[in-house]
Amino acid sequence: MRFNSTLQLNCGENVFNLFVRFLRGGILKHIKFASAMMCDELVFPFLQQNLVLLCQKAIYWKEEKALIAADVHLGKGGHFRKAGIAVPRDLAQDDLAVLSDLIREYQPQKLIFLGDLFHSDMNTDWDWFALWRGQFPNLKIVLIRGNHDIIHDSHYQKLNISLHAQLLIEPFLMLHHPLPPVQLQQATGYVLCGHIHPGVNLRGRGRQSVTLPCFAFADKQAILPSFGRFTGKVALQHQQTDRVFGVLSDKVIAL
């Protein structure tokens, strides 16, 4: 069966999101999911640029008209199911639907993945990704290769996705791995990266604690939270001079 990638439903929903809605078990469940994606944006002026920090754990860079996300880890659910571990089947579809919402909202000219777009080798989630890509044929997509990105370049090239080890778009240098201090001193731009899946631990008076995903901006590099829903987070030790932003379900907060 072939699908027309330009087909639009009366409610403005495209074919890909219709299939997501179907697989997730009906209209009501889909509406709850979509409403959870509504959030207050936080505009962070930085290095004479305006970065919109989103509760979907991505950044919209206004001046460059670029949407930036790290560590989506598509296909991770399929990878675990191959190993006999029971995980939900709709993880990749959910993450792609969130990306679709952000693209419609902010109308970026480019989408930059800071590594680990896919978790492992090819599985059925690649078919979903290819179908999703067809919904945005004019969107420039860039992948900064991460340690999990082992799928051959030719598959990405067929989808008109460019691959890089690093990418300089001044004033930012896009990487996957954070740089150690010595290399940071020699970096050609302020580093935006992922890989760590950063979190920040908050403690209450009654010994309650919670670890939130976070955007962590240090002196010379920032680490983005992992975009994928099926990913963990690691509580980092932060310097007092760091700018840390915790991610809640409906907003991003400065800590």
Out of 63-67, 172-176, 233-237, least confident range:
233-237
- CB-based burial of residue 55 (10 Å sphere; 0-12 exposed, 13-18 middle, 19+ buried)? buried
Of the two residues 42 and 88, the one the predictor is more confident about is 42
What pLDDT, on the 0 to 100 scale, is given for residue 210?
84
pLDDT-derived band at 231 (thresholds 50, 70, 90) equals: low
CA angle at 199 for the pair 96 and 98, rounded to the nearest 5°:
15
Q: In the chain, what are the domains?
A: 15-254 (3.60.21)
Confidence of residue 119 (pLDDT cuts 50, 70, 90): low
Average pLDDT, the chain: 81
Enter the tokens of residue 147: 């340690």
pLDDT of 25 over the 80 cut: no
Mean pLDDT confidence for 204-213: 81
Among the ranges given (48-62, 120-134, 150-164, 188-202), the one the predictor scored with the smallest mean pLDDT: 120-134
Strands annotated E in the chain? 42-46, 49-54, 58-61, 66-69, 110-113, 140-144, 161-164, 167-169, 172-174, 190-193, 198-203, 209-217, 221-223, 234-235, 243-247, 252-254
pLDDT band at 50 (very low <50, low <70, confident <90, very high): very high
Say whether pLDDT at 32 is over 70: no
CB 214 within 8 A of CB 55: no
- What are the tokens at 115? 């590594």
Residue carrying structure tokens 């969107």: 139
The pTM score is 0.80
Going by DSSP bridges, is the β-strand pair 190-193/221-223 parallel, antiparallel, or unpaired?
Answer: parallel
